[in-house]
A and B are shown apart, each in its own frame.
Chain A
Amino acid sequence: MTEQSNHRPHLSSDDPRIMLDGEIGQFENVPPYPPRTEREAEFYTLADGEMFLNMGPQHPSTHGVLRVVLKINGEQVVDLDPVLGYLHRGVEKLCENSDYHHIISQVDPLEYVSSLFMEWAPVMAFEKLLDVQVPRRAEYIRVLTGELLRVSSHALYQGWMALDLGGLAPILYSFIERDEIVEMLAAITGQRMLFNYFRIGGVNGDLNHEFMSRLGDWMSRALKMHETNIALLNENEIFVRRMRGIGKVDKDTALRMAVTGPNLRAAGVPFDVRRAHPYSVYPELEFDIPVRGANGGGDSLDRYLLRLDEVRESIRIIDQCLHNMPDGPVMARLPRLLRPRPGRAWAAVEAPRGLYGTYAISDGTDQPFRMKIHDPSFVNMQLVGMLMKGNLIADTMAVMASIDPVMGGIDK
């Protein structure tokens, strides 16, 4: 066997084998190597009275495995450094080695909370590459299930937001709501979470009796349930005090940081991909784009209230879809082995968190050459560092929760 090494190996501060010798100052050399960028140098030097607090990858409230290194002065956060990559699964590389049909199941686990949208954009991009005409019924079903999932995702957001602020009840109510919607989607797609439902050229299965009965049941209660769940939190003074004025984003900052989705609309910019770059059958549907914070910018409370408005709009869209559902096939006829012409295609959809886009480059073989995924949470997370300066530790949670990131999408 190899002889014992006499020197201690050089361990990074993430290594679980780190040996503490009881030196007090040891914790302050957070990266043991010299700083590589200016930002690192700026962040990792401590002024008087400051200390690092590591809200590590295992934390009850960081929305997944996110490591946030806070530099705090007492209770006030001076600077914030998010460390990503704990959930990186190499999705884009996996997509490069999968057939076009297999990509749909690879791409589901990005933003596992709203996985149909994650399938939608690649499918649209491939349809552009293959010049496939999607049947209208399939488009309507896509919109219907998508909007259902948006309602479910925003319901989860509500609960999550309250949980991060300390309230234990709303998340349970959110999960009851979400359970109903997810059972509905299981009746039509076959799964409760990572649906794998959209196909290139349509969807996998038609509406069935089980789905329609559950949907009808739910629609009759949807708005009323929405109102009840609002009542618990909207008027709660503690909740409102925790969120008003925290994390104010104005129009210019949001545009500069390339934020999209409800975060952008809560900052006063009426940008929605469904209206700005219309896709699918959205041009035929009537719905408004709620905007908040038009003067001065939006804070966390505006982001929260905006998502509640969006739920109402989604219920409206679902209603219209049900009334206008055309007949026809639900999937275009396509060969099993797809070889699109060499080319590039970009497609973007409005996911519950923002603009989710896919840039697919095909080289004529049956696997794409490159599939670049533009994830909304990845861009929205950049806001956290900016918004946290000067707030308290407790606000870190409020701000992060109000931006609604999902780590699966950020780390891909």
Chain B
Amino acid sequence: MTTLSRSWGNMTTLGKVVVPLLLLVLVGGPILTIAVGLWVGPWLLGVLSSNMGIVRFVVAITGVLLFSIPAAFIIIYMELKVIAQMNLRVGPDRVGPAGAAHSVVAGLKVLTKEDFTPKSADVIVFTWAPVIVFLTAVMTFLVIPFGPGFIDPVTGERVGGLVGQDMNIGLLYMFAVGGMTVVGLLLAGWSSFNKYSLLGGLRSAAQVVSYEIPLTLSVVGLILLAGTMSLQGIANQQEGWFTNWFVFRQPLGALIFFIAATAEANRTPFDLTEADSEIVAGFATEYSGMRFGFLFFAEYVNVFIVSALITTLFFGAWNAPIDINAILALVGLTPPVIALDPGSLGIGLLVLIGLAPVVLTALFALPFYLAKSSRPAWKALLIGFVLFNLFAMGILTLLAYIGWGWFAGLIWFFIKSFAFVFVFVWMRGTFPRVRIDHLMGFAWKWLLPAALLNLFLTATAIVVVKSL
């Protein structure tokens, strides 16, 4: 900033370049935008609308990338608070309301730290390792189905939905990309020129690779049952009552997947890679600043991915546990179709928008004003206003839930995913860590045979049921 506010004679070389450019942008910018909008605009819109698929894809991946950061923040906050509550202490409670802004501020703090490279580290690998870890974690967001699509009137099946890209090998893509995380961890551990990091990186390589196999094998049974590897397809098949969920048809597979996924996400009890009572921070010992922030966030994004996977595969991704349509059909009603036409209200719309907030605020404030004689009127009105907002948001959410299927699905998806995140955090607060040889023994001697057994039983059951 001081570069710009100096006079020309005192300006640095950089300033002499930046200031004219800035003036050019400030003045020429609006002119250019208008010109482009008038001439180039229609052509641009034409191009976009004819390549809707690509546009949709770009919007989708931007969306999921932007979503991953708040998800990580929420999970970090949950972890701090939930583990604290389990330890009979109060977690962060100073920064925001009940400490909600704590993880955001922590993220900002990580940005402001000094970002150094150890002297003898391999600089290129050291710099790119966190990027690989973060990228592979976030790339898996592409195939997770966040919400249902609409029912195609011709085929009667669901099409589309809130998915980044509904690949028909979605599950395979997920395991492939997710398995690349170990490359990043190994590079991070190796390039740090630190024995602790080396140990952490090698342990993580051994762990992730050996738990990949039970992970993938345990869902093969599911794939046989569902007949598709597309995650949206699997989610579509769990529609209706909660008994349709695959966890009841593949209980052993679900258990194995849960355990293997805990190991894949490097969570307790399998968190030897960052065992901070033995090898101070594992592979991330030499990292600081935003590079450490990347590794840190990547771990929490992984936790979300893994719980989203469990939800999608076994617990009916975006499906509500009860089938509203079936219940209503029993009673004889049809599901309401919210077709709001605000214009039909006429002058009533103006009255609604103008008067409803005021009247409802006063209405909600009245009992609080009357109940406590020492309460001033403005405080009561404030409480009333907050309650009115909650009421209005509640009504709108209800309308959105009923009206838009994808909204309802999104809400259910998040409820279920964060429930599993809570389970992961709960496990972290309870269990000690396993040893490396216990870990490997467990994966190869118990989980792998169990997954094979599951596959065998599923295949047998399919053949038997089909022949009947």
Contact = CB atoms under 8 A, between A and B. Distances in A.
Interface string B68-112: 000000000000000100111100000000000000000000000
Given A59-B280, A393-B278, A165 B433 contact: yes
Contacts of A165: 277, 432-433
Contact of B435 (A54, A59, A176, A242): A242
Interface stretch (A166-174, A273-281, A289-297): A166-174
Contacts of B278: 61, 393-394, 396-397
Contacts of A79: none
Nearest to A398: B435
B320 to A, nearest CB: 34
B433 A168 contact: no
Contacts of A393: 199, 278-279
Nearest to B84: A172
Contact of A169 (B87, B196, B279, B433): B87
A198 to B, nearest CB: 33
B88 A166 contact: no
Nearest to B438: A241
B466 interface: no
B435 A20 contact: no
B436 interface: yes
Nearest to B271: A166
B83 to A, nearest CB: 6
B120 A20 contact: yes
A236 interface: yes
Contacts of B432: 162, 165-167, 236, 238-239, 242
B87 A173 contact: yes
A239 B429 CA distance: 14
A22 B195 CA distance: 15
B136 to A, nearest CB: 26
A75 interface: yes
B276 A60 contact: yes
B434 A242 contact: yes
Contacts of B89: 172
Nearest to A60: B277
Given A242-B434, A394-B433, A60 B195 contact: no
Contacts of A396: 278
A53 interface: yes
Contacts, number: 88
Interface string A350-386: 0000000000000000000000000000000000000
A394 B429 contact: no
A238 to B, nearest CB: 5
Question: Interface size bucket, B side?
Answer: 20 to 34
Contacts of B272: 394
Nearest to A171: B87
Nearest to B433: A166
A22 B120 contact: yes
B191 interface: no
Given A393-B199, A394-B278, A394-B436, A167 B431 contact: yes
Contacts of A167: 430-433
Given A59-B280, A166-B275, A169-B86, A394 B435 contact: yes
Nearest to B118: A20
Nearest to B196: A53
A392 B195 CA distance: 15
Contacts of B434: 238, 241-242
B129 to A, nearest CB: 20
A242 B203 CA distance: 17
A166 B269 contact: yes
Contacts of B199: 53, 75, 393
B372 interface: no
Given A20-B120, A162-B432, A241-B438, A168 B83 contact: yes
Given A172-B89, A394-B272, A163 B431 contact: no
A166 B428 CA distance: 9
A236 B269 CA distance: 12
Interface in B426-451: 428-438
A22 B433 contact: no
Contact of B429 (A53, A59, A169): A169
B426 to A, nearest CB: 10
Contacts of B268: 166
B431 A236 contact: yes
B87 A238 contact: no
A236 B434 CA distance: 11
A238 B431 contact: yes
Interface in B267-310: 268-269, 271-272, 275-280
A127 interface: no
A392 B199 CA distance: 12
Given A163-B277, A392-B436, A22 B430 contact: no
A168 B89 CA distance: 12
Nearest to A61: B277
Interface string A53-85: 110000111000000000000010000000000
A286 B267 CA distance: 48
Contacts of B438: 238, 241-242
A232 B88 CA distance: 14
A53 B195 contact: yes
Contacts of B87: 168-169, 172-173
Contacts of B429: 168-169
A164 B278 CA distance: 8
A302 interface: no
Given A166-B277, A241-B434, A394-B433, A173 B428 contact: no
A396 B269 CA distance: 18
Nearest to A167: B432
A395 interface: yes
> Which of A27, A53, A169, A397 counts the most chain B CB atoms within 10 A?
A169
A59 B271 CA distance: 18
> Which of B278, B429, B430, B437 counts the most chain A CB atoms within 10 A?
B278
B277 A397 contact: yes
Given A60-B280, A393-B279, A394-B278, A75 B86 contact: no
A163 B168 CA distance: 45
Contacts of A168: 83, 87, 428-429
Interface string A155-185: 0000000111111110011001000000000
A170 to B, nearest CB: 9
A238 B269 contact: yes
A259 B277 CA distance: 26
Nearest to B269: A238
Nearest to A395: B435
Nearest to A246: B435
B431 A392 contact: no
Nearest to A401: B277
A51 interface: yes
Interface string B191-234: 00001100100010000000000000000000000000000000
A166 B277 CA distance: 7
Interface string A311-350: 0000000000000000000000000000000000000000
Nearest to A176: B88
B263 to A, nearest CB: 13
Given A52-B195, A393-B278, 10 more contacts: A20-B120, A163-B277, A165-B432, A166-B271, A166-B431, A238-B434, A242-B435, A394-B272, A394-B275, A394-B436
The 9 closest A-B pairs by CB, nearest first: A166-B433, A172-B87, A167-B432, A165-B432, A61-B277, A166-B432, A22-B120, A394-B435, A60-B277
19 contacts: A20-B120, A59-B280, A61-B278, A162-B432, A166-B268, A166-B275, A166-B277, A167-B431, A168-B87, A169-B86, A172-B87, A238-B432, A241-B438, A242-B433, A392-B435, A393-B278, A394-B278, A394-B436, A397-B277
Interface of A: 20, 22, 27, 51-54, 59-61, 75, 162-169, 172-173, 176, 232, 236, 238-239, 241-242, 392-397
